[in-house]
Chains A and B, each alone.
Chain A
Amino acid sequence: GQNIDQPTEMTATEGAIVQINCTYQTSGFNGLFWYQQHAGEAPTFLSYNVLDGLEEKGRFSSFLSRSKGYSYLLLKELQMKDSASYLCAVREAAGNKLTFGGGTRVLVKP
């Protein structure tokens, strides 16, 4: 089976940086995704890592270490609109389905 762990909740101040960690134990690996989900809305794609290293896209960056089964999502210059849940998901090697962690709820305070 697959096990994906991420913190339940984090709080940060507007303008600051927050790092959301995700660890995974899976039988196969074919990519790791981060999604953002505002309350009551659909998850929206943020980033994708399949090779080790850092992927940067504007204020958001995502890192992957396959040997450690570890990823993080870095949110810089936090804005109030970044208050949302952030979902880490692993795609297993054999297919295209995603296995999600429980999500990390980020609260940005003024």
Chain B
Amino acid sequence: GAGVSQTPSNKVTEKGKYVELRCDPISGHTALYWYRQSLGQGPEFLIYFQGTGAADDSGLPNDRFFAVRPEGSVSTLKIQRTERGDSAVYLCASSPRPSGRVRNEQFFGPGTRLTVL
């Protein structure tokens, strides 16, 4: 079946602009996650959705970052007034269940490479 998909695969923008990054999770997966990965580092957690609601947004770096998942499927990560330091690969993942009690591994998408000039 289809995996997690993300669009666009690459996004180049100018400092100060607004960007939206889209994630389509695996069908039927209730949990959706956003991570950010800089070159040579591991992914850094941003936000986690169970259904439509953000269960944990403790990783969002500041109020320029916002994410939604209005129908409990597709999610959009929104970044306002982009800064050069926002340049990174933004990864989305989904998992079958909301609970962390079983393996419930996360399936990652290919990411969106964001470059802020």
Q: Are A99 and B45 in contact (CB under 8 A)?
A: yes
- Interface on A for B, CB 8 Å cutoff? 4, 30-31, 33, 35, 41-45, 48, 50, 87, 89, 91, 93, 95-103
Q: Are B105 and A33 in contact (CB under 8 A)?
A: yes
- Interface on B for A, CB 8 Å cutoff? 4, 31, 33, 35, 40-45, 48, 55-56, 59, 91, 95, 98-101, 103-111
Q: Are A96 and B100 in contact (CB under 8 A)?
A: yes
Q: Are A30 and B101 in contact (CB under 8 A)?
A: yes
Query: Chain A nearest CB: distance from B3 CB in Å?
Result: 8
Chain B residues closer than 8 Å to A43, beta-carbon distance: 43, 91, 108
Question: A97 vs B59: C-alpha distance in the bound complex, in angstroms?
Answer: 10
Q: Are A42 and B99 in contact (CB under 8 A)?
A: no
Chain A residues closer than 8 Å to B100, beta-carbon distance: 30-31, 91, 93, 95-96
Q: Are B43 and A95 in contact (CB under 8 A)?
A: no
Q: Are A96 and B31 in contact (CB under 8 A)?
A: yes
Given contacts A31-B103, A42-B91, contact A100 B108 (CB under 8 A): no
Q: Are B45 and A42 in contact (CB under 8 A)?
A: no
Question: A31 vs B106: C-alpha distance in the bound complex, in angstroms?
Answer: 13
